[in-house]
Amino acid sequence: MAIITRNPSTGERIHTYQEMAPDEVRRHLDMAVEAQRAWRATDLKHRAGLLRHLAGHLRERAPTCGELMTIEMGKPLAEAKAEVEKCAWVCDFYADTGPELLADQPVETDASRSYVAFQPLGIVLAIMPWNFPFWQVIRFAAPTLMAGNAVVLKHAPNVSGCAVAIENLMLDAGFPAGLFRTLLIDVPAVAQVIEHPGVRAVTLTGSTRAGKAVASQAAALVKKTVLELGGSDPSLILEDANLEAAATSCATSRMINSGQSCVAAKRFVVVEEVRERFEALLVERMAAARMGDPMDPDTTLGPLAREDLQHNLARQVEESTAAGALCLLGGERPGGPGYFYPPTVLSDVRPGMPAYEEELFGPVASIIPVADEAEAIRVANDTAYGLGASVYTQDTARGERIAAHDLEAGCCFVNGLVKSDPRLPFGGVKESGYGRELAAYGLREFVNVKTVWVA
């Protein structure tokens, strides 16, 4: 079976890849088992050194890697280059912190010596999405390799070129052959990989439906999973917010990566007292986006990554407006080639509408009016998801209280857009998944936390 990549700006075919046959997949997995056996015996300083080499290669190749991302999934070129730099950052972070975080931790007990050791599990399968084709992979792979594991990558088919490029970067940085392997396979072949005895864990970033399917199979085989799934992130705009700053932050969050981010702000829960002014400011800022060729340095909004995504987003907007939502900006697919969708602002969004109930994966903002703080918190939590959330208020103590205690999400920000940072754990609750990436928590997700006790 062929895997075809297409340029979302034009719809034209980029490349055709041949899907790996089952025997070839098994061979790669067996090679990964052997590579990991040798890798787990290497010292932490050696692993850290290779991560630093990888960071250097990423920085050197940021222009070409960025162009590849832009061509395959439509990310504006400046954002693509910044994504590669962020990948280098996470490599440097784990090279700096990994040896200490993975060192044995002494514990005083009745033994002459007792401690906690962190040892690798084996092979970890990574099922990754297309929206951040380098970052999603490297942010997982850097700590997982640092911990002594091997990685096999099943990337989204539409970014197969990125998947191959990442494997080549690993080899060029000096990681052993077979330790990081890209598998060019489609969804039906994933079950075979999970069943392989050398695969000890699975991490998936993607839809809730995909997460449930993978977690079910892995659980039946008693294999650990980490899931980072969908999000319908709320931004609470309280009556004392700095509306100019809030609108700028919210517009930026909504349109990063052409609106295709799990932690992009999607539902704007606005206290009625300031709704009219906030709406005007948000419309103004989103209307200022320049939609077009993502290779053009002046473009700030590229196409959606695939045609089916464009059609689904249009459906969600059309069904929401038919149910009573008011379209203040955009709302119509442009003519011409490519999978573009314009900046769109919907107001008077209510329960039952797709713009309220579903994740909108594109540059569409849903404004939900509420009476006060209490209702804002209730509406923010009125979702199956729980990935990110933000609150805007000039009373930072109030904002921190709401973020820390009231919002049901894994990442809560005050007066700023939700973003990932290697120094902080990243992940969700409810149907947004479980487990954490980044920081010390991500490093220790795929290790055997072993107790050692000596009489």
Residue 150 and residue 64 in contact, taking contact as beta carbons nearer than 8 Å: no
Residue 304 and residue 411 in contact, taking contact as beta carbons nearer than 8 Å: no
Distance (Å, whole) CA 399 – CA 407: 11
Give me the half-sphere count of Cα atoms (radius 13 Å) on the Cβ side of residue 206: 20
Closest C-alpha among 310, 340, 346 to residue 328 = 346
Distance (Å, whole) CA 55 – CA 52: 5
Residue 224's Cβ-count burial label (10 Å; 0-12, 13-18, 19+) is middle
Q: Tokens at residue 344, please? A: 């769109």
Contacts of 202 (CB under 8 A, 6+ apart): 124, 125, 126, 127, 194, 214, 218, 223, 224, 225, 226
Closest C-alpha among 209, 204, 207 to residue 223 = 204
| Residue 413 C-alpha from the chain's centroid | 17
Residue 73 and residue 417 in contact, taking contact as beta carbons nearer than 8 Å: no
Distance (Å, whole) CA 99 – CA 60: 25
Contacts of 51 (CB under 8 A, 6+ apart): 91, 92, 94, 95, 98, 142, 145, 146, 173
Cβ neighbour number for residue 333 with a 10 Å cutoff: 16
Distance (Å, whole) CA 169 – CA 91: 13
User: Where in the sequence numbering do the catalytic residues fall?
Assistant: 228, 262
Distance (Å, whole) CA 294 – CA 413: 29
